[in-house]
Amino acid sequence: MNQRSLFAERRVYKVSELNAEIKALLETRLGGIWVEGEISNFKLHSSGHAYFTLKDKDSQLRAVCFKGSLRMVRFRPEDGLAVLVHGTITVYTPRGEYQILVNAMEPQGLGSLLLAFEQLKQRLEKEGLFDASRKKSLPLLPRKIGIITSPTGAVIRDMLHILKRRNSGLDVLLYPVRVQGEGATQEIASAVNYLSHRPDMDVIIVGRGGGSMEDLWAFNEEAVARAIAASPIPIISAVGHETDFTIADFVADLRAPTPSAAAELVSGAREELQLRLSSCLKRIRKAIFFFLSDRSRQLQLLSRSRAFHLIEERIRFLDQRLDELAVRSLSAWNQRLAGDRHRWQQLQHRLEQQNPRQRLLRQQAQVRLFYTRLQHAALQKVEIYRGRFAALAGRLETLSPLGSLGRGYAICRNDRGQVLREAAKSFPGDFVQVKLFRGQLGCRVEEIGD
């Protein structure tokens, strides 16, 4: 084939066409495969899809797990986790990059359920949901309990039988739920939220019978754990057998090894209290009987004793002495009262002699006399000062320039405001001001004489 025929038979692909061809080829040849590797650069998008890289020591492969498939993964994927994924090799045509579209994932080493259990347990423990300080005590005598479990099966029958036998007056409210399978988690969490906010509820039991880890998984879900942790009233977790442990056991206020044991816990307090009360009453009666018997014997011995009769004589003597002291005390009191009455009469007589009203009248007369004298002296002073003032005013008027001006004299000043006392200090043509008794004149010098 020569070069001309090569160019004549050539087919030209667009980039998108070539990527589409490669995508179809890969998906046909590698439809569904298993790949093992370590997760790196794991990112959970706001859409719910996960994007990450699978790698080993020599190479790496881009991977994507869409929301629907990621929801089926029991554990939480994270960087550094060795996993085994199943999916389809495909090409992301806008960038021409091939990747694996993951539809299943499981951890290597640990099972997916066990890994998910450990991951959630560690996360909730860090948040403090397992702390003993936040756990609530069971009520001593609960009046109403709620049971969240399946309405069918041996578990609820055994619990009701124990509650009726041990405490027939206990009020029980059953909230029926599915305890495994799809939708069980949401039903259990909703039941906990409802019963925990009823004002008449005292304690709640969440439980079911034994089973595999998959059967008990609804009690390992985060929604159930957080609903139990948020409950304001005590919750007992009674899931499976004694060897089974769930996340609900760690979060609950108390773990019962079995549902039957949980029923005994909430109903046994009343029975135990009744037994203890009955025992205490018997001991109190016995103690009172021995106490009264002992005191009765002692009383009989004292009644036959000489000391007992001496006490009676002493009491009679003290009664007579008390009467005597009462008579003497009354006499002394009357004497003191008479003396006080005499002193009061003397003080009243002295008070009348020193009557404040009479003293006040005398003081008022003296004040009026002093006021008259003060007024007369003040008028005399005013007249003296008035005469002195008139004399000084006359002298001041005689010496005042205004007085001279009133008699026809005038004051003459030059243009600099200086008083002219000699005609020789001015010259013809100078401007002068002449101050009269009333007003002033502006004049110009025409002639100067002696």
User: Following DSSP, what letter does each residue of 414-428 receive, concatenated?
Assistant: -TTSPBP--GGG--T
- The residue out of 272, 297, 320 marking a domain boundary is 272
Residue 14 structure tokens = 């667009």
Phi and psi (nearest 5°) for 442?
-100, 120
Give the integer Cα–Cα distance in Å for 65 and 209.
Answer: 35
* 265 and 156 belong to one structural domain: yes
Residue 188 structure tokens = 């259990």
Residue 81 structure tokens = 């986790």
pLDDT number for residue 242: 80
Number of domains in the chain: 3
Helix (H, G, I), strand (E, B), or coil: what is residue 447?
Answer: coil
Q: Would 290 be classed as within a structural domain?
A: no
* 35 and 158 belong to one structural domain: no
Q: Would 28 be classed as within a structural domain?
A: yes
HSE (side-chain half, CA atoms, 13 Å) at 246: 34
Q: Would 384 be classed as within a structural domain?
A: no
Helix (H, G, I), strand (E, B), or coil: what is residue 235?
Answer: strand
Helix (H, G, I), strand (E, B), or coil: what is residue 66?
Answer: coil
pLDDT number for residue 111: 60
Instruction: Say which residues have a Cβ less than 8 Å from residue 274's Cβ, sequence separation at least 6.
Output: none
CB of 435 closer than 8 Å to CB of 413: yes
Residue given tokens 């495969």 in the structure block: 33
Give the integer Cα–Cα distance in Å for 367 and 373.
Answer: 10
* 203 and 83 belong to one structural domain: no
Nearest to 228 by CA among 133, 143, 124, 141: 124
Domain that holds residue 199: 141-272
Q: Would 185 be classed as within a structural domain?
A: yes
Beta bridge partner(s), residue 104:
86
* 65 and 154 belong to one structural domain: no
Distance of CA 392 to the CA centre of its chain: 88
Distance of CA 351 to the CA centre of its chain: 71
CATH number of 265's domain = 3.40.50.10550
HSE (side-chain half, CA atoms, 13 Å) at 2: 1
Nearest to 134 by CA among 234, 207, 11: 234
pLDDT number for residue 353: 64
* 105 and 228 belong to one structural domain: no
Pairing of strands 144-149, 82-92: unpaired
CA dihedral over 71, 75, 79, 83, signed as positive or negative: negative
Helix (H, G, I), strand (E, B), or coil: what is residue 144?
Answer: strand
Helix (H, G, I), strand (E, B), or coil: what is residue 319?
Answer: helix
Residue 156 structure tokens = 């609820």
Residue 342 structure tokens = 């005499």
- The residue out of 237, 272, 307 marking a domain boundary is 272
* 84 and 164 belong to one structural domain: no
pLDDT number for residue 65: 92
pLDDT number for residue 309: 65
Instruction: Say which residues have a Cβ less than 8 Å from residue 158's Cβ, sequence separation at least 6.
Output: 259, 260, 263
Give the integer Cα–Cα distance in Å for 267 and 442.
Answer: 130
CA dihedral over 225, 234, 240, 154, signed as positive or negative: negative
* 50 and 157 belong to one structural domain: no
Q: Give the containing element (helix H, strand E) for 123.
A: helix 112-126
* 263 and 204 belong to one structural domain: yes
* 104 and 152 belong to one structural domain: no
CB of 150 closer than 8 Å to CB of 191: no
Could you read off the pLDDT tens digit of each residue along the chain, which spans 450 residues? 555 555 556 776 677 777 677 777 766 676 678 888 888 888 888 888 999 988 887 888 889 999 888 888 877 888 877 888 888 888 887 887 888 888 888 877 656 667 777 778 888 888 888 888 888 888 878 889 999 998 887 888 988 888 888 877 788 999 999 988 888 989 999 999 999 999 999 999 998 888 777 788 888 888 899 999 999 999 999 888 887 788 888 899 999 889 888 888 888 656 677 777 888 888 898 888 888 888 888 877 776 766 666 676 777 777 777 877 887 888 888 888 888 888 888 877 777 666 677 677 778 888 888 888 888 888 888 888 888 888 887 777 766 666 666 676 788 888 888 887 777 778 888 888 888 878 888 888 888 876
Q: Would 86 be classed as within a structural domain?
A: yes
* Residue 368 DSSP class: H
Residue 390 structure tokens = 């008139």
- The residue out of 109, 130, 157 marking a domain boundary is 109
* 161 and 246 belong to one structural domain: yes
Q: Would 232 be classed as within a structural domain?
A: yes
Q: Would 335 be classed as within a structural domain?
A: no
* 196 and 254 belong to one structural domain: yes
Q: Would 294 be classed as within a structural domain?
A: no
* 76 and 162 belong to one structural domain: no
CATH number of 67's domain = 2.40.50.140
